[in-house]
Amino acid sequence: MIEIYLFVNPIGKKCLSIEQRIIDLINKYDMKIQLRLVPIMNLNTVSEFMQRIGGSEKDIQLRTELSQEIHSAALDVKAAHLQGKKRGRDFLIELQKAVGEQKQPYSKKLAIQLFTKVGGDLEMFLEDRHSAFVQESFLTDQQIAHEMEITSHPSAVIYNYGSNCDAGIRIEGCDAIHHILDTYNTKEALLAFLEIESKHAPMRHSPDIDHHLSLI
């Protein structure tokens, strides 16, 4: 079995494109892949997001607003996941489409509308959203990201439990993930890539794409 931790911005459209490709891959090849979508927020990811939307790193007000929105959206996603992985995933995708692609401003009202759209129990969602458990779950995700040395989103950490190595393969950056999915675009090629990479420990940098690939 393969387990993928995908660290994402809950309101980012680049992360959405990666999520959709991985979900399509799972469905296309009927592979035993456990996908864990992990919303993260730290100083570096907020700065990275500001650059992507054309904001100035010196704009303190924008930084504060984006930090609050990403944090609030991440808590929404964690609360949605308590009603099942599929519902949580569907909600995350709808949220990224609305805010990241359609440029709708994030708000609690929007979150409620989107959660209703995916068919969840709204009363339970609102109760969970403000619970200590959801806040603690969010903090646990940030700790996992810190331990795996995740500094940008999207980033993926892949464990191939079918190999003889228990090391995870860390792939950082949207271009890097797309590059690997484009290059190893069959089930056999992807499995062979994971098998080979899980047995080697170099950190590799490519001048052609903005990423690095390493074992953790």
pLDDT in tens, 164-181: 666 788 999 888 999 998
Give domain limits for the chain.
2-200
DSSP letter (8 states) at residue 198: T
Q: List the CATH code of the domain at 2-200.
A: 3.40.30.10
Write down the pTM of the prediction.
Answer: 0.86
Mean pLDDT of the 173-193 span: 88
pLDDT, tens digit, 9 for 90 and up, residues 51-93:
888 888 888 999 999 999 999 999 999 999 999 999 999 999 9
**Percent above pLDDT 70 for the chain:** 89
Sheet holding 2-8, edge to edge: 33-39, 2-8, 155-160, 169-172, 212-215, 204-205
At residue 111, does pLDDT exceed 80? yes
Mean pLDDT calculated for residue range 30-40: 87
167, two tokens: 């090391």
What's the mean pLDDT when you consider all of the chain?
86
203 residue type, one letter = M
Give me the DSSP letters along 61-129. Answer: HHHHHHHHHHHHHHHHHHHHHTT-HHHHHHHHHHHHIIIIIS-PPP-HHHHHHHHHHTT--HHHHHHHH
Q: Look at residue 216 in the predicted model and tell me its pLDDT.
A: 55
